[in-house]
Structure formats: C-alpha cells, structure tokens
Amino acid sequence: MSWTLTPADLPDLARGAALLGTGGGGDPYIGRLMVEAAMREHGPVTVLDLDDIDDDAFVVPTAMMGAPTVMVEKIPRGDEAVLALRALERELGRTADATMPIECGGINSMIPLVVAARTGLPVVDADGMGRAFPELQMETFGVYGVPGSPMVVAGDHGEHVLINTGPDNRRMEWLARGAAIRMGGAALIAEYAMSGADAKRTAVPRTLSLGLAIGRGLREAREQLRDPVSALAEVLAPTPYTHLRVLFAGKVADVERRTVDGFARGKARFVSFDGTSTLRTSFQNENLVAEVDGVVRCIVPDLICVLEAESGEPITTETLRYGQRVVVIGISTPDIMRTPEALAVFGPACFGLDEEFHPVENTGESRVPER
Amino acid sequence: MSWTLTPADLPDLARGAALLGTGGGGDPYIGRLMVEAAMREHGPVTVLDLDDIDDDAFVVPTAMMGAPTVMVEKIPRGDEAVLALRALERELGRTADATMPIECGGINSMIPLVVAARTGLPVVDADGMGRAFPELQMETFGVYGVPGSPMVVAGDHGEHVLINTGPDNRRMEWLARGAAIRMGGAALIAEYAMSGADAKRTAVPRTLSLGLAIGRGLREAREQLRDPVSALAEVLAPTPYTHLRVLFAGKVADVERRTVDGFARGKARFVSFDGTSTLRTSFQNENLVAEVDGVVRCIVPDLICVLEAESGEPITTETLRYGQRVVVIGISTPDIMRTPEALAVFGPACFGLDEEFHPVENTGESRVPER
C-alpha cells in the first residue's frame, strides 16, 4: 500500500528518527529542513511498502555519512545525494525505480526523502539498519548478501568518488570513510543498489512508518500530558521492536567526546536523581552499551535511547550536556537483526566490546517507567 | 621515431630515473623487477615519440602514488595499474591507444612499462613532471589545461576508486591521496587521459630516453673510471636540461624523516669533507631546496640530486643515511616547467617555501665538479 508523505508529517518523523538513531545517525533537524525545502519546490513524496515494488525493480538507497558532530555544522548543499544516485546509475547502466533509506535513524530518515522529492522517485518504507549504525558494512542488505559497492560518495564541490571493492563491504566502508573525511567529515552517498526482490529479502520493513508512529506517539503523549515512555511502549508493542525497558533515570554527570577517524567517539556517565546509582554508556556515533552499576543492561544491536525526562524528546550523543535530566531506555531490535549472521556484522564484538549480545528483554530491568 | 625497449635497457633506465627523481619518485629498483617480469612473459615494449602519435589518439598515463618510504616495502601485486587503466577506459567509453609516464623520475618511469608489456600498448616517450613531484596536480598536463580527473586509484585487493573532481586537480590529489593512504600508503593510478594533440602540447618530451641516456652515461663513466658528474654534464648539455651545477660535496651529518599524510617529509644536513661548510636540504618525497651556508643554491622545480661521491649512483631521500659520502648537484628544468603558469603549480610557494624561484644556472656555484 503506497501513501503520501507531506511536510506536515516531517516533525513527527524527525522525532521518531532521532529516537531510532539510538544516540547517533545525525540530528534529523537539518535533514527535515532539507526535505521541507525540496517538497516546497517539488511537492510531496510517495512512499511504497516493500510489497508494492516489483521483484525486478531497481532500488538505489541514498544517505549521508560522517561524524554527527560534523553533520550538525557542515550543511549539505542539497543536490549531492541526487548526484551520487545519478553517478551510480551511470556506472550500473540502469535507471533507479525507487530510493530507500539505508538507515531509518537520524538524518538518514530524511536524505532519501530529499532525493525522492527532487527526482520524483518513490521512497521504499524500509531500511538496512532498523536503527542507526556508524559503519556502512553494518547493513542487513550486506548481512544477507547484497554487495554495497559499487557505491558513490559525493561532496559539496560537485566532486564524487566511485568505490568498487567487489563483495568486500568492510573495505568499501574504509575507503568511503576516507573520502568522506577528505570531503570535510561528511558526504552524501548512494550504495547497495539492488533489485526489488533483494530489498524484500534483506531490508528491515516499515521503518519509515515506524519513525513516524514513534514521533506522533511522543508528541501526542506530550499534548495529552501523558508519560512519553508509556506512550512509546504502546507504539512499539505491536511492531517487531516489541520490548521496551527503562534502564535508568537521572542526570548527565559527565561526557567525554572526540571526533576521531571520522566518527564521534566517547562515553557518558549518568547519576540517578537520588545519587545512589550510576549508568555508563559508550558510543561510536550511536550508543553501544549501557551499564548500570557495573551490570550490562542493554547492548548493541538493541537500541539504547536517551530521552529528555519531561518531554520524551530524544537526545543525540553530540548534544549530551552536563546536567540534562533524562530517562534512558532500551528497545529490542527485530529478529532479522539478531541472527548469527547479523551479530557477526554489527554485534558487540564488531565494536570492540567484550560482552556477548543479550536481548534487552532479558537484561533490562523494569518494564514500566519509574520516575 | 619509435624504438623498442628491452630488458637490457632497464638497469640504465632505472639509474637515470633515480637521478631524475631528484631524491623522490620511489626507488625504481622494484619497478625494474616488475618490468623485467612483465617483459619475460609478454615481450619488449614499443616506445613512441610524441611526433609518432596521432592527434586524436587516446593516451592514458599510468603511475604509482604514495610515500616512497612505503613504496619500497609494499610491493604491488602487478596488475593494479592495468586495472586502473581498464576502469578509466570503461568510465570514458574509449580504449587507450598508448600509455605514458606522468613522472619520469623514480619508480614511475617503470610503471607505464609494466602496463605496456602487459597490455601490448606502446608507451609515449614523454611525461608530465620532467622529474618527480610529490602531488598529482603538479603535472604540466594540468598546468596547460588537461583535467586530471576522472582518474582511478587501484589497490592490491582488486578494489578501485574512481575520482571525478571536474577541472579541480588539487581536489583530485587530495581525494586520491586519501584513497592511497587507506589502501596502505601506496596505490596504482590512471589519470590525465588525453588526446595525442594534448600530449604533444602539454607533455615534457623525450624524458624516458633522457633517463636511459643519463643511466648509460653514469654507468659508462664508472666503467671508464671517469668522473660521473662530468659525464652527466655532457649527457645533459644538448638536452632541455642544459645546466648542471655542483652544489656541494661532503658527508651526510643528519637526517630527519617522517612518513606523514601519505608523504615522506623531512630534512637533511650535510657537512663538507673539511668540516667548514654546511648544506641543508628539505624534502617532501623529493628534494625541495638546497641551502649552502645559509644561501639558497637550488630550489624546486629545478632538480636537486644527491649522488654517491665515488660511483655517481643517485641516493633517494628514503635511503639517506648518516656518513654517506656524497656530491650534491643542481640541474635546470626545461623551459616548459619554468613558466609563470608552471611555477604557480609546482614553484617554491606550492611547497610552503618563502623563497622565490631562481634558476640554478644563476645561483648554483661551480660549473665543473670539485672533489
């Protein structure tokens, strides 16, 4: 079933995408402004369910890559992602039938909408991360056999780089990251071009509509003076992101953050309101692990989201500040992201963490909010 | 007039290319072994004079890029430059009629011969640097209007990166350098694809045969127990590299060298045999400036070459060692490399040097060797 996304949907989608960004993915605010501008000029965007696309359709995902700390300051010119898509079309000798997010969290929920508005292509309601991840090989597309390359990285001077690493998606990430760094720390990309059949087989479905539903749920809870976390749990329960656990409530006590090798890396410490308990998180763009009083409560690829305590507004790692009053939640990822093949690509070991993956529904603590 | 280059020519060419490398360009020894292997398998190589090529022929220069300190340790697999050329042909939709050096100094005198032997293409007796330079925008091709991109950088895992920066050759260098660094510090490239007419207009002519003549002259001088520097001066006098000046004779007293940002950067200090005089050089892959007792005697783009005092064997910056007994010479570059347009691309200011360019024939000291 196809539907139309209009400018009125964008604030909710941006809020939901920030939550699915699990701390990273880049602030969707700038992406939202870009989509609004593109829609003003070119009209709204058609969203297709995976079921709506032909098996032999040609789907070209588009995205932004870079450190979120850079992405909030280095605003794209606007046409880079379209240029990347066009260059990839030329390389592959085929015209795209649709674009798709690689990542439903953060700014990358928005970039394919910019492309869709500017080109008139529909956008597929699915993605390759089901959240945000920092690296390009960390996509379900690649996990289930779609090669990421050839891919294109486009910069804001009209330049582009085409990368071909055959089936080696890690090497593709390595070379693309180098290009993005030299383009100023952030760049626009087109990658994992695939058939409709491959999209159906490998993508995490309905993550654009999920972002929209999450954002709407948080907004309505705020309007109705309801607890945002309970509202969020209600939105998620019927989706493949079934389980929500409140991991912690308290204040930001310390943030260590550096922009290094093209990533925002660091850790944060939170102290409970009564001062008796401590949460520690570490992140590479996205939150990777949440440890309460020395016990791991949630770990990648499950989602760790820091929300403003009163409003439920998601806080990204690059905007964490001393003294913020927050509630930190864990959300279970869909089964397609928890298979052994998936954990081999974006499980804890892929981030240098020693801990094994344990589903948050078994390790997170309270099911209902406690504030 | 076309001629045939055989394995017997390679030791002389390697020696001459090491001299034209002016301290950099990468040790041609490894390149020589690669050409020998390719010629053993595929036969000798046809060399074409610029006059021999059609104006509408399609010439695709090939080369290696990277820090010479890396290039002596990270040996190419062998087919990377051919893969780069083939990828560039595909991008441009045209088949190469010939390859050509971008740089006649160092290992890049040899890489196009590897490509020529493996593909059966002829190689053009000309290049774009007339010596060696550390960066890809520093080519007469670009100085006189040929765009360097699209270009291809190929690594030793079969991966390649295609870079398109339109007419911006500095940005091309910046992105290609980043790719080469991520490919391990050295990679093979195809760039500045051009017509035969453009090659005739922009290339430094007959620099392959010059390298061969220099190497032969140095060898014969050694065999005949003649002074190598006098022999070299005789070889150069009738060429566009008319002037040779002996800048210094003495011992290496100190070398500071780091591999940084994909380059070998550093400086060296030499003390005269009687201890009364000091030569200081600085280099970015290649020697940039030679200062004797505080006075600049030779500066880029003129050639500064360090030779083993007894044998006249050229010493590259990455093999400079304490105690080596050397004679240091300056050689004038051809007029095509001394125009205002050329100096704007590879004059002293392009390397962060404060000094103006002064021709070595006016600033170098003695015309005849003094040892």
Rounded CA separation A291/B236 (Å): 72
* Residues of chain A with C-beta less than 8 angstroms from the C-beta of B84: none
ipTM: 0.86
Query: With bands split at pLDDT 50, 70 and 90, how would you rate the model's confidence at B292?
Result: very high
What is the token pair recorded at B215?
């190497």
| pTM: predicted TM-score of the whole model, two decimal places | 0.90
Are A183 and B187 in contact by the 8 Å Cβ rule? The answer is no
Rounded CA separation B44/B46 (Å): 7
Q: Going edge to edge, which strands form the sheet with B263-272?
A: B295-299, B286-292, B278-284, B263-272, B244-260, B325-331, B303-308
Strands of chain B (E only): list them: 3-5, 45-48, 58-59, 62-66, 123-124, 126-127, 151-154, 160-164, 186-190, 194-195, 204-205, 244-260, 263-272, 278-284, 286-292, 295-299, 303-308, 325-331
- Check whether A27 has a pLDDT greater than 90: no
Rounded CA separation B17/B6 (Å): 16
In eight-state DSSP terms, residue B113 is H
- Check whether A367 has a pLDDT greater than 90: no
| Residue A285, C-beta contacts closer than 8 angstroms, at least 6 positions apart | A23, A24, A25, A67, A68, A132, A133, A134, A263, A264, A317
Q: What domains, with CATH codes, occur in chain A?
A: 3-205 (3.40.1610.10), 228-363 (2.40.390.10)
Which among B165, B168, B178 has the least Cβ separation from residue A178?
B178
Q: What is the pLDDT of residue B142?
A: 98
Q: What is the pLDDT of residue B71?
A: 80
For chain B, the average pLDDT equals 94
Asked if A159's CB is within 8 angstroms of B164's CB, the reply is yes
* Half-sphere exposure of residue A93: CA atoms within 13 angstroms, side-chain side: 3
Rounded CA separation B111/A68 (Å): 41
Tokens 């003129």 sit on residue = B302
- pLDDT single digits (tens) B318-339: 899 999 999 999 999 999 999 9
Nearest chain B CA: its distance from A341 CA (Å)? 24
Rounded CA separation B122/B120 (Å): 7
- pLDDT single digits (tens) B221-280: 999 999 999 999 999 999 999 999 999 999 999 999 998 887 889 999 999 999 999 999
- pLDDT single digits (tens) B229-239: 999 999 999 99
Q: What is the pLDDT of residue B26?
A: 82
- pLDDT single digits (tens) B171-193: 999 999 999 999 999 999 999 99
* Residues of chain A with C-beta less than 8 angstroms from the C-beta of B160: 163-164
Residue type, B128: G
Q: What is the pLDDT of residue A370?
A: 44
What is the token pair recorded at A170?
């890690």
Give the count of Cβ contacts less than 8 A between chain A and B.
63
Query: With bands split at pLDDT 50, 70 and 90, how would you rate the model's confidence at A365?
Result: low
Rounded CA separation B138/B116 (Å): 24
CB atoms within 10 A of CB B150: 20
Which among A168, A178, A183 has the least Cβ separation from residue B179?
A178
Asked if B165's CB is within 8 angstroms of A183's CB, the reply is no
- Check whether B366 has a pLDDT greater than 60: no
Residue B134 DSSP SS3:
coil
For chain A, the average pLDDT equals 94
* Residues of chain A with C-beta less than 8 angstroms from the C-beta of B174: 182
Which of B77 and A95 is assigned the larger pLDDT? A95
- pLDDT single digits (tens) A220-252: 999 999 999 999 999 999 999 999 999 999 999
- Orientation of helix A111-119 relative to helix A80-92, angle to 10°: 70
- Check whether B69 has a pLDDT greater than 80: no
| Residue A173, C-beta contacts closer than 8 angstroms, at least 6 positions apart | A135, A136, A137, A148
Q: What is the pLDDT of residue A363?
A: 85
Residue B146 DSSP SS3:
coil
Q: What is the pLDDT of residue A369?
A: 45
A87-95 average pLDDT score: 97
Give burial (CB, 10 Å; 0-12/13-18/19+) of A159: buried
- pLDDT single digits (tens) B78-131: 899 999 999 999 999 999 999 999 999 999 999 999 999 999 999 999 999 999
Sign of the torsion angle spanned by Cα atoms A311, A314, A317, A319: negative
Share of chain A above pLDDT 70, in %: 98
- pLDDT single digits (tens) A43-83: 999 999 999 999 999 999 999 998 877 887 888 988 999 99
Asked if A181's CB is within 8 angstroms of B175's CB, the reply is no
Nearest chain B CA: its distance from A164 CA (Å)? 5
Q: Testing the interface with A: which of B151, B168, B175 to mutate, by most A Cβ within 10 A?
A: B175
| Residue B39, C-beta contacts closer than 8 angstroms, at least 6 positions apart | B6, B7, B45, B113, B117
Strands of B132-243 (E only): list them: 151-154, 160-164, 186-190, 194-195, 204-205
- Check whether A371 has a pLDDT greater than 80: no
* Residues of chain A with C-beta less than 8 angstroms from the C-beta of B161: 161-164, 175, 179
Rounded CA separation B163/A113 (Å): 26
Residue B65 DSSP SS3:
strand
Share of chain B above pLDDT 70, in %: 98
- Orientation of helix B207-223 relative to helix B228-236, angle to 10°: 150
Nearest chain B CA: its distance from A138 CA (Å)? 19
Closest chain A residue to the Cα of B162, Cα to Cα? A162
Give burial (CB, 10 Å; 0-12/13-18/19+) of A295: exposed
Asked if B161's CB is within 8 angstroms of A183's CB, the reply is no
Query: With bands split at pLDDT 50, 70 and 90, how would you rate the model's confidence at B365?
Result: low
